[in-house]
């Protein structure tokens, strides 16, 4: 059998609402044409309580594909779940759809409507021409619970079938950021194919001697560098054990680094414009352009002088612009940071640091040394109304 793996559609994703809907529809429609069955490892929806119009849109998509003439059919569902259709569209809930134990989630609604089969903590068996494919599903869980849950459920393959273990979690070997993430070795043994959702970039590996596949999301959401690859889904052939990535039409994302030294606003503007225009010229409509600016700002300027917002607004409708300035530093900022660091290393309190900075500022502005800095500091820090602060501070400075 040919199995289409379509994951993380995030229908209802607000920032790119139309993208999520259109690309989910295209992926599922094409999956129908190319495969005998579809499996979905989570996050059909972007939120656990989507708006009615989002649910309605998803119903329309799944209703269309469930009406296809499927030669493969669900023959059995083992576990606590109930099947309301024999159409071979097999899904689990993801972390975005997770609700409290015993509560329905939006994926359950699609299952209750007979548009797909929810196999969270259950096994679905699909048959075609005497061949059986068994899919065990484990819906998305909090990271600290997943290993315990696998041990508790103890999933096992179905004899005589091609067995798939489908889940929706972070995996340590792919994202080595937390000891709570599940490892490849923690996955149950004996399955012919391991399929994971949750991670939005495409991944292929080998686990317990069998293929491990993450198809990636069908829509851009996290805007990470790894998401620059095309979006789509994977078709796996149970006979040849081969897999094919099927690309769908999706919004492009381009990421570049702009390095500047002693940057002035005009330099940053020109550098960003060049990158944006080059990205637009690639031909994909309304691309996402992520620019990481690194380096230093010229004397006399700060990050607030950089015309980022005007640049974003100017390209609205032609490109989605994201500019990261966190690694762009100014000598003034570095000097202030060093002052605070030096004060802190000397055991100074936050109040003492503030007093010292205020005294330096008053001196540089030419105010007389007779001003009681401590009293002025108290006025500035104790009042919550701006007009009252200005009135009392002006009175103090004028009296001096």
- Domains of the chain, by residue range, sit at 2-247, 253-331, 361-399
What is the spatial distance between Cα 137 and Cα 148, in angstroms, rounded to a whole number? 15
Check if CATH label 3.40.50.720 holds for domain 2-247: no
Q: How many CB atoms neighbour CB 135 within 10 A?
A: 31
What is the spatial distance between Cα 20 and Cα 104, in angstroms, rounded to a whole number? 23
pLDDT tens series, the chain, 400 aa:
999 999 999 999 999 999 999 999 999 999 999 999 999 999 999 999 999 999 999 999 999 999 998 999 999 999 989 999 999 999 999 999 887 666 789 999 999 999 999 999 999 999 999 999 999 999 999 888 999 999 999 999 999 999 999 999 999 999 998 989 999 999 999 999 999 999 999 999 999 999 999 999 999 987 776 677 899 999 999 999 999 999 999 999 999 999 999 888 899 999 999 999 999 999 889 999 999 999 998 888 887 888 888 889 999 999 999 999 888 887 665 565 555 555 554 555 556 666 677 777 777 766 666 566 666 666 666 555 556 656 666 666 555 4
Are β-strands 122-128 and 131-138 bridged in parallel, bridged antiparallel, or unpaired?
A: antiparallel
Contact between 307 and 269 under an 8 Å Cβ cutoff? The reply is: yes
Backbone region of residue 274 per phi and psi (left: phi > 0; alpha: psi in -120 to 50; beta: other values): alpha
Rg of the chain (C-alpha set): 28
Prediction pTM value: 0.79
From 182, 62, 61, 191, select the one nearest 123 (Cα to Cα): 191
What is the spatial distance between Cα 165 and Cα 150, in angstroms, rounded to a whole number? 11
Quote the Cα angle for 211-214-217, to 5°.
Answer: 160
Residue 288 pairs with which residues in a beta bridge? Answer: 253, 320
């Amino acid at each position: 059998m040919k199995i289409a793996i379509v994951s993380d559609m995030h229908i209802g994703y607000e920032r790119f609402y139309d993208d999520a809907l259109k690309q989910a529809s295209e992926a599922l429609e094409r999956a129908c044409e190319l495969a005998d069955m579809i499996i979905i490892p989570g996050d059909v929806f972007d939120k656990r309580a989507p708006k009615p119009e989002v649910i309605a849109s998803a119903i329309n998509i799944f209703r269309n594909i469930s009406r296809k003439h499927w030669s493969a059919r669900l023959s059995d569902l083992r576990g606590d779940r109930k099947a309301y259709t024999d159409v071979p569209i097999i899904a689990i809930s993801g972390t975005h759809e997770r609700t409290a134990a015993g509560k329905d989630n939006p994926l359950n609604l699609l299952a209750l409507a007979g548009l797909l089969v929810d196999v969270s903590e259950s096994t679905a068996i699909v048959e075609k021409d005497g061949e059986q494919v068994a899919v065990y599903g484990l819906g998305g869980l909090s990271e600290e619970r997943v290993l315990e849950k696998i041990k508790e459920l103890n999933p096992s393959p179905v004899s005589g079938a091609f067995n798939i273990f489908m889940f929706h979690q972070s995996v340590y070997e792919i994202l080595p950021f937390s000891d709570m993430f599940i490892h490849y070795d923690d996955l149950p043994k004996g399955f012919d194919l391991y399929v994971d959702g949750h991670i939005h970039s495409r991944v292929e590996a080998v686990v317990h001697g069998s293929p491990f596949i993450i198809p990636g999301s069908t829509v851009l959401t996290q805007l990470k560098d790894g998401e620059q690859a095309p979006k789509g889904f994977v078709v796996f052939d149970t006979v040849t054990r081969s897999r094919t990535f099927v690309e769908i039409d999706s919004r492009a994302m381009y990421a570049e680094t702009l390095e500047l030294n002693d940057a002035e606003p005009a330099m940053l503007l020109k550098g960003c414009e060049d990158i944006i225009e080059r990205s637009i010229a690639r031909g994909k409509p309304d691309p996402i352009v992520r620019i990481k600016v690194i380096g230093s700002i010229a004397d006399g300027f700060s990050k607030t002088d950089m015309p980022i917002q005007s640049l974003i607004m100017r390209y609205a409708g032609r490109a989605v612009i994201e500019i990261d300035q966190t690694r762009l530093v100014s000598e003034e900022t570095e000097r202030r940071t060093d002052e605070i660091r030096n004060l802190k290393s000397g055991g100074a309190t936050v109040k003492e640091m503030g007093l010292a900075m205020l005294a330096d500022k008053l001196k540089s502005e030419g105010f007389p040394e007779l001003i009681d800095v401590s009293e002025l500091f108290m006025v500035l820090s104790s009042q919550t109304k701006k007009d009252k602060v200005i009135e009392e501070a002006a009175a103090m400075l004028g009296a001096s």
